[in-house]
Amino acid sequence: MKGKRYLCFCMALLFVCLFLVNTPSPVQGAPFYHGKREEKKIALTFDDGPHPRYTPEILRLLEQYGIKATFFVVGENMEIYAEAAKALIASPHEIGNHTYTHPHMSALDEKALREEIEKTEEIIRALGGTSSGLFRPPEGKKSAVHTALLEEMAYKTVLWSIDTRDWSHNAPSVICHAVLSAVQGGDILLFHDFVVPPNTTITALEQLIPQLLKSGYQFVTVSELLEG
């Protein structure tokens, strides 16, 4: 009888351990860097847009391959580039919140961050979009104060596991190498749809997407990735 109880205890402990290993962000309010590693699912993410030229080009490319991505938009750019914003909202992609003015996070108190987030959310809603409940802080910066607020506002903070540094005009071959040498199931890839010209992101994506598909990767939104 004692042995049976011991076995039950060990089994329960094993299940708890497996659960913890499989949970990408076990700490309450902690940012997500990636999803579960078991399946070959990855999420492309695009920050800082929309851009009047590059966002529609990326949308066309994603449509060509029938794949979905997540765009972390800047509210101010949604207002300035309304046509690109409408096209993005009408697309099947997921929209995350990347603040209204893309400020330095260290300069924001709780009230200012709340305003940045809510203003962007209003713009997304006014264009007919819905909130994904995802937030990405500018430059990936975060603090304990912000974590508490985001938790209160029921946002998931999403960072990334692969940084392509495409904003720095890395050559497409460098971007491709950064991805292909490191990619694994569950990865969240950081790209930018708003960059100062010249844009190397789109040429890199034209090469990367077919190679990743050929390697068996499935492209999903961040929410789908985190749901498992």
Catalytic-role residue among 47, 48, 187, 193:
47
Closest approach, Cβ 32 to Zn ion, in A, equals 17
Q: Vertex 224, ends 221 and 228: CA angle to 5°?
A: 140
- Spell out the long-range contacts of 57-64 with Cβ–Cβ below 8 A and sequence spacing 24 or more: 57/202, 58/193, 58/201, 58/202, 58/205, 59/87, 59/88, 59/91, 59/93, 61/202, 61/205, 61/206, 61/209, 62/91, 62/93, 63/91
Whichever of 48 and 121 has its CB closer to Zn ion, that residue is 48
Q: What is the DSSP string of 5-32?
A: HHHHHHHHHHHHHHHHHH-S--STTPPB
Closest approach, Cβ 141 to Zn ion, in A, equals 10
Whichever of 118 and 163 has its CB closer to Zn ion, that residue is 163
What sections of the chain are H helices per DSSP?
2-22, 54-65, 75-80, 82-90, 110-126, 144-152, 172-180, 201-214, 222-227
DSSP bridge partners of 41: 218
Closest approach, Cβ 15 to Zn ion, in A, equals 39
Whichever of 49 and 172 has its CB closer to Zn ion, that residue is 49
Closest approach, Cβ 48 to Zn ion, in A, equals 4
Binding site for Zn ion (CB under 5 A): 47-48, 138
Is 192 a known active-site residue?
yes
Q: CA-CA distance, 209 to 228, in Å (whole number)?
A: 21
Whichever of 50 and 138 has its CB closer to Zn ion, that residue is 138
Q: CA-CA distance, 134 to 156, in Å (whole number)?
A: 5
Catalytic-role residue among 48, 166, 192, 193:
192
DSSP 8-state class, residue 144: H
Closest approach, Cβ 169 to Zn ion, in A, equals 16
Whichever of 48 and 116 has its CB closer to Zn ion, that residue is 48
At residue 162, φ and ψ (nearest 5 deg) are: -130, 120
Is 93 a known active-site residue?
no
Residues labelled as active-site residues: 47, 192
